[in-house]
């Protein structure tokens, strides 16, 4: 809780089996994610934006991909805008550093967006990462604070360590972006 002024604190106090970090100020996306990841105890970390709605089976698809391939360091999914257009089916990182969501604005169910494949990176709006790799890399690099490009950087570092970054189309979220 980044010093919320609404009912967030009261709502969080109702949760069971959840560790809550309460901050006196808003740390921003990147530092908040690093803080939460440091508290996490599982094998995987799921980064999921608060302006998303997960489709049924999304988490199972992400975990299935990660568990099926020991060289999988991160896996993301199909992001769809509320109007039904594709936000991204993984992302491309060009040589000049420009990042582009693959298929942006197109029909999300076209064949080229409907198979598992290795990609440059996945948006941090929906990204499952092996916790041991995230910790080994020091989390999201704070030079990108408060946000943007930290997901590309993390995925490229995961790839540099010899692991794969995958796109799993069965992992679907609707994202307001």
Q: Which ranges in 40-149 belong to alpha helices (H)?
A: 58-68, 131-136
The percentage of residues in the chain with a pLDDT greater than 90, rounded to a whole number, is 89
Q: Give residues with Cβ within 8 angstroms of 136, minimum separation 6.
A: 161
pLDDT of residue 9: 86
Q: Which ranges in the chain belong to alpha helices (H)?
A: 8-13, 28-39, 58-68, 131-136, 150-160
**Tokens standing for residue 160:** 């540099």
In angstroms, the first-to-last Cα distance of the chain is 21
pLDDT of residue 147: 80
pLDDT of residue 146: 83
Q: Give residues with Cβ within 8 angstroms of 12, minimum separation 6.
A: 1, 18, 20
Span 154-165, average pLDDT: 98
Average pLDDT, the chain: 95
Span 148-177, average pLDDT: 97
Task: Indicate whether 109 pLDDT > 90.
Answer: yes
Rg, the chain, Cα only: 16
Helix (H, G, I), strand (E, B) or coil at 166: strand
Task: Indicate whether 111 pLDDT > 90.
Answer: yes
Least confident of 7-11, 47-51, 81-85: 7-11
Task: Indicate whether 177 pLDDT > 90.
Answer: no
Span 72-77, average pLDDT: 98
């Amino acid at each position: 809780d980044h010093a919320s002024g609404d009912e967030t604190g009261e709502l969080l106090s109702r949760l069971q089996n959840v560790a809550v970090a309460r901050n006196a100020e808003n740390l921003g996306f990147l530092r908040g994610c690093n803080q939460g990841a440091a508290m996490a105890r599982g094998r995987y970390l799921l980064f999921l934006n608060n302006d998303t709605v997960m489709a049924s089976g999304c988490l199972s698809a992400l975990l299935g991909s990660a568990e099926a391939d020991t060289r999988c360091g991160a896996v993301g999914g199909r992001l769809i805008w509320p109007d039904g257009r594709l936000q991204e089916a993984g992302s491309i990182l060009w040589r000049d550093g420009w990042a582009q969501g693959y298929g942006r604005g197109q029909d999300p169910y076209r064949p080229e967006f409907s198979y598992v494949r290795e990609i440059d990176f996945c948006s941090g709006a929906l990204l499952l990462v092996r916790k041991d790799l995230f910790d080994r890399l020091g989390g999201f690099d704070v030079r990108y604070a408060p946000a943007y490009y930290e997901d590309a950087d993390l995925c490229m570092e995961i790839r540099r360590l010899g692991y794969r970054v995958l796109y799993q189309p069965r992992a679907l979220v609707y994202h307001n972006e």
